[in-house]
Amino acid sequence: MRAITEEVGEPRMRWLVGILETFDATMAARLDDAERIASEMFELGSQIGESDAFSVFAGQFFVIGTFAGRHGDLFPLVERAATDNPEMLPFRLAYAVICSAVGRLETAQEILAEVMTHAFANVASDMWWMTSVIGYTVLAIELEDRNAAELLLAIIEPLSAEVAFNGATSHGPVSAYVGKLASLLGRHECAESHLRAALATDISFGWEYHRATTLFDLARTRFRRDRHLDAESVCWLNEAAAICGDRGIRSWAARIDTLRRDAGVTPG
């Protein structure tokens, strides 16, 4: 696609390839590159009258911002989108995720409770279904809501060999979220097995953001099980910290520091 686009130069082809270039940069945690390409493609898409230009840009910008830990900057934009479009579950979900990150836990819990009343059956069965379900999974993990975790684990575990992708953004391997839910529920052996599978996928594709977060959750699972970090889990944390430092993944760097402090481990 890249070669044909370079040869032909047709604007819509350039826009489509740019979406994938943004995806590649985001997953590799080249976040500055990803934001630059996304902005360029939004401008191009707007110029050629592409109807999905804004929605694609908004989705990618949200993911890039959350990866970089800029939840506070995103909060007023996402809050307004959710307020102006109260019937749209994706906006409500994005708002809930942001709320959980900035400490508005009561609001985040209320939004999660809304979909739990339907056991997540009201999530639309469309191309955004996996993105939405994994988004609620992230929310359940952040809020440590074990009731939601039980429901969501039953939904996503059969899909653990898949990757969550909607054509523009990705949550990475589903197995990572199966592992994180299992860890929250105290099923540590199951959790580590799924997290190791996710890590293998991350390494295979060079998905550095997800490699860092999966390494962190492998270490956290060991700590939950043993109440201390062994040598292997300390290595996982050090590797995750190095990625976060190199790539500017601020929010996860803070989590690593917290886990080290809880475990009495010195950085390095």
Structure confidence at residue 226 (pLDDT): 96
Q: Examine the domain organization and report whether 233 and 174 are in the same domain.
A: no
Position 88 scores a pLDDT of: 76
Domain boundary among 196, 228, 246: 196
Domain final residue pick, 41, 68, 95? 68
**How far is the C-alpha of 105 from the C-alpha of 239, rounded, in Å?**
30
- Total tally of structural domains belonging to the chain: 3
Residues 145 and 165 in one domain: yes
Residue 128's pLDDT is what? 86
Q: Is 82 within 8 Å of 58 (Cβ atoms)?
A: no
Cα 79 from Cα 64, distance rounded (Å): 17
In a domain, 108, yes or no: yes
The three-state secondary structure class of 69 is: coil
Residue 201 lies in a domain: no
SS3 30: coil
Same domain, 73 and 188: yes
Q: Among 20, 42, 68, where does a domain finish?
A: 68
Do 166 and 81 share a structural domain?
Answer: yes
10 & 74 share domain = no
C-beta separation of 57 from 45 below 8 A: yes
Asked whether residue 251 is assigned to any structural domain, the reply reads: yes
How far is residue 115's CA from residue 93's CA, in Å, rounded to a whole number? Answer: 10
- In this structure, is residue 154 part of a structural domain? yes
Residues 73 and 185 in one domain: yes
Q: Is residue 157 located within the same domain as residue 240?
A: no
Range of the domain at 51: 1-68
Answer yes or no: is 37 within a domain. Answer: yes
d(CA 193, CA 183): 11
Please indicate, yes or no, whether residues 28 and 51 belong to a single structural domain of this protein.
yes
- Distance, in Å, from the CA atom of 222 to the CA atom of 62, rounded to the nearest integer, reads 31
**What tokens appear for 266 in the block?**
């010195």
Amino acid sitting at position 268: G
pLDDT tens sequence for the chain (268 residues): 888 888 888 999 999 999 999 999 999 999 999 999 999 999 999 999 999 898 899 889 999 999 988 888 888 888 888 888 777 777 888 999 999 999 999 999 999 998 998 889 888 888 889 999 999 999 999 999 999 999 999 999 999 999 999 888 999 999 999 999 999 999 999 999 999 999 999 999 999 999 999 999 999 999 999 999 999 999 999 999 999 999 989 889 989 999 999 999 988 6
Q: How many CB atoms lie within 10 A of CB 110?
A: 13
Bridge partners of residue 173, in order along the sequence: 163
Q: Does 95 fall in a domain? A: yes
My answer on whether 58 and 80 are in the same domain is: no
What is the Cα–Cα distance from 230 to 192, expressed in whole angstroms? 14
Q: Within a domain: residue 261?
A: yes
**Assigned domain for 191 exists:** yes
Same domain, residue pair 241 and 161: no
User: Are 190 and 91 in a shared domain?
Assistant: yes
Do 130 and 92 touch, CB atoms closer than 8 A? no
Q: Where are the beta strands (DSSP E) in 85-195?
A: 163-165, 170-173
**What per-residue confidence (pLDDT) applies to 92?**
86
- Of 175, 189, 190, 214, residue with least CA distance to 27: 214
Residue 38 neighbours by CB under 8 Å, 6+ apart: 18, 22, 57, 60, 61, 64
Composition of the chain by helix, strand, coil, percent to 5: 75, 5, 20
Do residues 63 and 81 both lie within one domain? Answer: no
